[in-house]
């Protein structure tokens, strides 16, 4: 859970991208990155929106993402993305 809190706090000091969004890396798995994203156009300033993304640097695209509205909901989703990234980067043995 500390990775989640550190990333969430890190958004406050992260530099804004060209579109105004902010991104904080949580963990890298080779060319894949699980990251926390804050979009420039949030619906309500008083609502908590935690947007996770599994990003592939090779293809410069998002492979998966999810939106959570509280930290209790966010933790299992973050673990799911970690698991997905780890599975995608593991070498796969092809049977002969």
Which of helix, strand or coil describes residue 62?
Answer: strand
Phi, psi of 11 (to 5 degrees): -60, -30
Instruction: Tell me the pLDDT tens digit for each residue of 67-80.
Output: 998 888 888 999 99
Identify the pLDDT of residue 43.
54
User: How high is the pLDDT of residue 72?
Assistant: 85
Please say if the pLDDT value at position 13 is more than 60. yes
What would be the CATH architecture of the domain defined by 2-89?
A: 2-Layer Sandwich (3.30)
Residue of 8 and 44 predicted with greater confidence: 8
Q: What is the pTM of this model?
A: 0.82
> Domain coordinates of the chain in residue numbers?
2-89
Burial class of 51 by CB neighbour count within 10 A (0 to 12, 13 to 18, 19+): middle
């Amino acid at each position: 859970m500390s990775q989640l809190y550190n990333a969430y706090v890190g958004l406050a000091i992260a530099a804004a991208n060209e579109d105004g969004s902010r991104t904080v890396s949580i963990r890298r798995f080779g060319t894949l990155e699980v990251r926390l994203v804050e979009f420039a156009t949030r619906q309500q300033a008083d609502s908590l929106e935690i947007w996770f993304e599994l990003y592939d640097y090779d293809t410069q695209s998002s492979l998966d993402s999810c939106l959570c509205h509280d930290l209790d909901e966010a933790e299992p989703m973050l673990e799911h993305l970690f698991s997905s990234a780890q599975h995608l980067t593991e070498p796969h043995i092809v049977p002969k």
